[in-house]
Amino acid sequence: MRISWLGDVLTASDVEWVAEGDWLNRSAGATFEPIGVLWHHTAAPSSASNPHPALNICINGRPDLAGPLCQALVDYHGVFHLISANRANHAGTARASGPIPAGSGNTMLIGWEIDYAGDGGGGQVQEMTSAQYEASVKATAGVLTRLGRDASYARGHRETSTTGKIDPSFINLDSMRADVAARMGGQPPTDPPGTAFETWVSDVNVRPLPNTSQPPVGNLPNPTTIHVTCQTRGETVNYGGYTNDLWAHLSSPVEGYISNIFVDAPASLPVPNC
């Protein structure tokens, strides 16, 4: 898919934008079927006098990663710089997050690189400006409306990264999604039932019961966020030097059971018994 409509959507969303060169044809590959929007920060300190310090890198890439590195850069003043209407190298391999499945983030997600230092890029700690935030919320709402998706399809890089990314810093992503939902005229997305935890290993089978005797009902291919409603005792599992007979019941991303061994938390989770 080529999102040549992006400029029109931004205009309709009351977002100021400029085209950067041949943005309609600039691409990092062929496969691009976006279902959501991903927020990043560039880690470059920006200012009123230097509003888009990372623009050249986002267009042309780095020695270790070819450009383009996003579909749009959001400068200090909240202006969107359109860099690519096609696939960009911004998300890498994604773990499942909300309704976004695990897979190629570059295929599934439209990326905004919001140009600010975050937690210390360039030796400077900097939060997103209000202009950047407001423009990004408007743009995200407009794009998700165009894609036919709700606000739960807006994610932050730290939610999908498999390599420990922390961006965008200083932003409550649940509040961001609530603001996007409000802009879209809908209700804020709600989290699945249960308490959120992270898994710490790859290729975890989700079982219909707390044992391994039946075929799995799903699989967690990479470390990811899970929502646990309760735990119960079942088959004893040994893995990585650990032994545990407690199993967590998941409501998301796949309903079923996994051994507590695979949850990055104490052996007995702080959840009710099933």
Quick: pLDDT tens for 165-219.
Answer: 889 999 999 899 999 999 999 766 667 789 999 999 999 999 999 999 988 888 8
Contact 79, 112 (CB under 8 A): no
pLDDT band for position 1 (50/70/90)? confident
CATH number of 6-184: 3.40.80.10
Quick: pLDDT tens for 137-176.
Answer: 999 999 999 999 999 999 999 999 988 888 999 999 989 9
Percent of residues, the chain, with pLDDT higher than 70: 97
Residues of the chain with CATH 3.40.80.10: 6-184
The DSSP code for 156 is: E
pLDDT band for position 62 (50/70/90)? very high
Contacts of 41 (CB under 8 A, 6+ apart): 113, 114, 115, 116, 117, 118, 121, 128, 167, 168, 169
Q: By CB neighbour count within 10 A (0-12 exposed, 13-18 middle, 19+ buried), where does 235 fall? A: middle
Quick: pLDDT tens for 210-243.
Answer: 999 988 888 888 888 899 999 999 999 999 999 9
Q: What is the distance between the alpha carbons of residues 261 and 243, in angstroms, rounded to a whole number?
A: 7
Biggest alpha carbon–alpha carbon distance for the chain: 64
- Mean pLDDT taken over the chain: 93
